[in-house]
Amino acid sequence: MIDFYYAPTPNGWKVAILLEELGLEYTTHLMQLGAGDQFKPEFLAIGPNAKMPAIVDRDTRTSVFESGAILWYLAEKTGRFLPDDPAQKLEVMQWMFWQVGNQGPMGGQLSHFVNYAPEGQSYGADRYRGEYERNLAVLERRLDGRDWIVGDYGIADMLAFPWVFIAKPLTSSLDDFPNVAAWRKRIKERSAVMRAIDLHKAKQNRGEQNAQNNKVLYNQSAAHLLDR
Angle at which helix 122-142 crosses helix 178-188, to 10 degrees, equals: 80
Residue 30: how many CB atoms within 10 A of its CB?
A: 16
> Residues in the chain with pLDDT < 50?
228
Q: Please report, for residues 1, 157, 169, 199, the alpha-carbon distance to residue 202 in angstroms, rounded to integers and kept in the order given.
A: 25, 25, 17, 8
Instruction: Give CA torsion, residues 72, 77, 80, 81, to 10 deg.
Output: 0
Stated pTM of the model: 0.94
Q: Is the distance from CB of 12 to CB of 53 less than 8 angstroms?
A: yes
d(CA 40, CA 47): 10
pLDDT of residue 34: 85
pLDDT of residue 211: 61
Q: Spell out the long-range contacts of 76-83 with Cβ–Cβ below 8 A and sequence spacing 24 or more.
A: 78/22, 78/24, 80/21, 80/22, 81/18, 81/21, 81/22, 81/153, 81/154, 81/155, 81/158, 82/154, 82/155, 83/150, 83/151, 83/152, 83/154
pLDDT of residue 90: 98
d(CA 14, CA 70): 9
Q: CA nearest 8: which of 40, 36, 35, 30? A: 30
Strands in 62-65's sheet, in edge-to-edge order, are: 26-30, 2-6, 54-57, 62-65
Q: Is 24 helix (H, G, I), strand (E, B) or coil?
A: coil
Alpha helices in 55-121 (DSSP H): 67-78, 86-98, 104-111
d(CA 69, CA 93): 10
d(CA 150, CA 69): 18
